[in-house]
Chain A
C-alpha cells in the first residue's frame, strides 16, 4: 500500500451508474486503484462486473447514459474529472492510450489503417502528410506487421483479427503514452494469436516504460503478464494482491472459485468447478456482500453487512468477513 503518493494513475471511490428505463443502474460502486509508472495492473472479473466501465470512466468515454456519480480520477497530479473536454482530448491517445476488445469493429471500415494511425499523429504530434505515412509504417513494423509499407494502404477488412489488434495497438502507442489501458485485448482472438499479442504488449511495455492496465476475465493472462491484480465482483473490488500471492493464497471465496474454475496443466481428467448461481442483477444488489448468495463459506452477517476492503498483509487486501480483522491494517 506504500508509495501511493507517486502513483501515475489513481482512481478513488469511483461510482458509475447508467440511466435506464428501470432507473439508475449502478455499474461501478466505489472502485479504488493505483497504477505506478511502468507496472502492469490487471483487473479481473466476469462480464458485467464493471471492469470495462471503470476503464471507460477513466478516459471519460462512457456512453451518454453513463454517469460518474462520484469519485476522483487523478493522472500525474491532474484531476481528470475536473478537466475541460479539450484538455481531456489532449490526454486521450497521447498520454493515455486505449486498446479495445473487438478488433473486428474497432477500426473504421472506410479509412485505410495508415490514415487511422496517421490521425493520432496529426492530432497529437502535428506531423505532416508524408511524415505521418512514414511514421505509420514504422509503427506497423514496431507492432510486428510484415510488409508494413504495403499494409499501410490497406483497409481493415483486408486484415485478420490479430492484425487489426496490432493496428489498434499501433494507434494506442503512437504517441508513447504513459499508460495503456487494454480492455480485454485478446478475448476476441485465437489462442495462438492471443499469446503473440501479449508478447507484443510486454515487449512494447519494456521498451517504452509505460504502465499497462490490463482488463481481462482470463486468469491465465493475468498470471503471465501482470504484477498486481484487482479482482472485481458486482462493481466492487473484492480482492487486491500481487500476482504471486493471489495464486498462492487467494482469500476471497470468489477469487478461490475463479481459480478453481481455471484448467490446470497438472490435473488431467479433473472436472472444472463452476461457480454456482448467477451474478445478481445490478438492480437487486443485496445490502451486504454481493457474492453472499453464491458463496460456499457464507456467514450470517454477509447478507446485511457489507465487508470493506481491508489489508491482511502488505500488498494484499480482501473485502470479506472471513478475513476481517486478521490483518495489520
Chain B
C-alpha cells in the first residue's frame, strides 16, 4: 500500500510539471496580453506598452518566463499584474470566501441526492420514482443561471431572505453572534440554489447504481436469509452501490478551487470563480497560472485520494 502511494505521488509530480508547462504555454500563446486589455485608451502610448511589456518581462523567451513564474511562485514573490498584490494571499482570501459556499452546497447535494436516488430505485416505476425523475430531468435541462434568477425572484418575494453578497454591510459593528448569524443567513439561498443541479445529476447516478445492485444475486441471498428489507437495502445493497461514488468523492477536492463563476456572479459572491474570471479578462497571467496550478495539484491529489479510498472500502482491491 505505501509503495503504491509513494509511486503514485512521484508519478503525479512528473505529471504536474508537464501540466504546468502546458498551461503556461497555452496562456502565453493565446491571443491578448496585459498591454492590449484596453487598446482604445488614447492615453496608452506605444512607449507605455513597451514599458508594461518590460515590467512584466513579456519580451523574454517563453521558457525564461516559465522559470520566472515558477521561481516567484515558490518564493512567494509572485504578484498580480493588475494590482501588484502578492498572488497567494489574494487567492487565499478569495478561497476563504468560496469555501463556505462550496461546503454548504456540497453537503446539501450529497445529503439530498442519496436518499432521493435510493428511494427512487427502491420504488422503481412508482409515483415517487416518476416524480423525482421528472424533476431531475427538468432541473438538468434548465440552465442554472436561468433557474437561479427565477428562484431568486420567488424567494425574495416570499421569504425575505438575502440573495446578494456575503454579509449585510455594517454588520461587523454588531455582536459576534449577530455577525455570524448574518453570514449564515446570506449563505442559505446561494448554496441551496447552486446545489439544485448537483442534486439532480447525483440522484440519477445514485438511482441507476442502486438499481443495478438491487438486481444482484447477493441481494436475493440476503432476502433468503431472512434479512429485513431495510437492512437488505441499506446494508447489503447500498454498501456496494456506494463504491463508485468514492471516486467522485476524490474529485470533489478540485471543486474547492473551481468555485462557480455563474453562481458567484449571480449572487455577487466575492469568491475564487470570479477571481479567475476577472483574471482571464484582465490577462492577469500570474493569477490565471497560479489558480490553474493549484487546481492541477488538487485534482491530482483528488485522484490519489480516490485510489486509496477505493482500496479502503472495496476488499477486492489491493495495491501491492
Residues of A bordering B, CB below 8 Å: 59, 61, 63-64, 85-86, 89-94, 97-98, 100, 102, 105-112, 119-120, 123-124, 155, 157, 168, 171-172
Contacts and interface: CB of A to CB of B under 8 A. Distances in A.
19 contacts: A93-B225, A94-B226, A100-B217, A100-B224, A102-B217, A105-B216, A106-B217, A108-B218, A108-B221, A108-B222, A109-B314, A109-B315, A110-B243, A110-B314, A112-B315, A123-B225, A155-B316, A157-B316, A171-B225
B315 A157 contact: yes
A64 B236 CA distance: 18
B90 interface: no
B124 interface: yes
B240 interface: yes
B247 to A, nearest CB: 16
Contacts of B220: 61, 100, 106
Interface residues of B, number: 23
Contacts, number: 75
Contact of A105 (B217, B225, B229): B217
Contact of B316 (A89, A92, A109): A109
Interface in B236-278: 236, 239-240, 243
B228 interface: yes
Contacts of B216: 105
A94 B227 CA distance: 11
Contacts of B228: 86, 89, 123
Best-buried of B124, B221, B223, B224 by chain A (most CB within 10 Å): B224
B240 A108 contact: yes
A98 B316 CA distance: 26
Q: Classify the interface of chain B: helix, strand, loop or mixed.
A: helix
Nearest to B243: A110
A98 B224 contact: yes
Contacts of B240: 108-110
Interface of B: 124, 215-218, 220-229, 236, 239-240, 243, 313-316
Best-buried of B226, B313, B316 by chain A (most CB within 10 Å): B226
Nearest to B221: A106
Contact of B224 (A90, A92, A107, A155): A92
A61 to B, nearest CB: 6
B315 A61 contact: no
Given A100-B220, A105-B217, A64 B316 contact: no
Contacts of A123: 225-228
Across the A-B interface, the 5 shortest Cβ-Cβ residue pairs? A93-B226, A93-B225, A92-B226, A105-B217, A108-B218
A119 B227 contact: yes
B218 A105 contact: yes
B236 A92 contact: no
Given A105-B216, A105-B217, A92 B223 contact: yes
A168 B17 CA distance: 52
A86 B228 CA distance: 8
Nearest to A101: B217
A107 B316 contact: no
A108 B236 contact: yes
Given A108-B236, A110-B239, A119 B225 contact: yes
A93 to B, nearest CB: 4
B222 A61 contact: no
Contacts of B124: 64
B217 to A, nearest CB: 4
Nearest to A120: B225
B5 to A, nearest CB: 22
A107 B239 CA distance: 13
Contacts of A91: 226
Best-buried of A109, A110, A124, A155 by chain B (most CB within 10 Å): A110
A63 B219 CA distance: 11
Contacts of B225: 92-93, 119-120, 123, 171
Nearest to B315: A155
Given A155-B315, A155-B316, A157-B316, A109 B218 contact: yes
A63 B216 CA distance: 11
A230 to B, nearest CB: 21
Contacts of B236: 108
A151 B229 CA distance: 28
Given A61-B223, A89-B227, A98-B224, 13 more contacts: A92-B223, A92-B224, A93-B224, A93-B225, A93-B227, A97-B224, A100-B217, A102-B217, A106-B220, A108-B240, A109-B218, A155-B316, A171-B221
Contacts of A89: 226-228
A171 B218 CA distance: 12
Nearest to A112: B315
A124 B226 contact: yes
A93 B226 CA distance: 5
